[in-house]
Amino acid sequence: MRRVRIGCSGWNYAHWREGVFYPPRCPARRWLEYYAERFDTVEVNSSFYRLPRRDAVARWAEQTPPGFVFAVKVSRYVTHIKRLREVDVHLPLLLERIAPLHDAGKLGPLLWQLPRTFARDDRVLAEALGSFPSTLRHAIEFRHESWFARGPLDLLAEHGVALVVGDRPGAPGPDRPEPTAGFAFVRFHQGRRGRRGNYSDAELADWSPTLRAWASRGDVYAYFNNDWEGFAPRNALAMRALLA
């Protein structure tokens, strides 16, 4: 069994305070430290909207224990505006900003989430994959049905890039596709059976054998993105308990 890392898509949520997840009177500056006492990974979504400052990233590395890992979402400028074109030109700025995580051994996969309107283009995908830094792990979340075909998936496998499993009602593609890389990456966006997007106990129990099976072949990174009402940390803790 390789490592199964379970966490949330972000930690800086004001609606998690006052007992929802963070304890009463816990200052925002301690939220990451508190989070890292309970989880061993987090997905950074804020980098999609705005590149983080390097000094802030250095503080993230300082506030988390050894072995903690950050998965970082690539800027929407690269994925949504440039649509994977000129990756070698635009990605280095993000890599420079998050270098403190790499230097501390805490940088996990880069998450490339494509827009829903971005349909299959094998040539663009092949050129982009060829520009991905081979020393890092990469995971792509397709959100247009046309990408879930043999050609694009073979390209991911050829470059060792993980196909992101985006679990939510109405998600395109198969529910639990076979990993295309030596690791798996799952984003639990919204439960199907729980109320208001919460994952029910039965759903979590149904997913746990799949995560175990994937972990028999490589590391697994799984993040709960249903942050509203504190569902994400509760679901993530429950999944960790199932896999313990």
Run means of pLDDT, 10 residues per run, the chain, 244 residues: 90 92 94 97 97 98 98 98 97 98 98 98 98 98 97 98 95 92 97 86 96 96 96 97 94
Residue that the structure tokens 């029910």 belong to: 200
Contacts with 127 (C-beta within 8 Å, 6 or more apart), sequence order: 84, 85, 87
In angstroms, the CA 18 to CA 158 distance is 47
CATH code assigned to 4-243: 3.20.20.410
Contacts with 105 (C-beta within 8 Å, 6 or more apart), sequence order: 66
Q: Which residues pair with 112 in a beta bridge?
A: 140
Instruction: Give alpha helix (H) positions in the chain.
Output: 31-36, 46-49, 54-63, 76, 87-97, 99-103, 122-131, 150-159, 201-215, 231-243
Torsion of CA 101, 14, 10, 1, to 10 degrees: 110
How many helices (DSSP H) and strands (DSSP E) are in the chain? 10, 8
- Give the other-Cβ count within 10 Å of 224's Cβ: 28
pLDDT of 34 reads 97
In angstroms, the CA 152 to CA 112 distance is 14
In angstroms, the CA 38 to CA 86 distance is 38
pLDDT of 145 reads 97
8 A C-beta contact, residue 187 and residue 220? no
Give, to the nearest 10 degrees, the angle between helix 87-97 and helix 122-131.
Answer: 40
Token pair of 132, please? 């991905």
Contacts with 225 (C-beta within 8 Å, 6 or more apart), sequence order: 8, 9, 43, 45, 187, 188, 189, 190, 232
pLDDT of 18 reads 83
Q: Where are the chain's structural domains?
A: 4-243
pLDDT of 1 reads 52
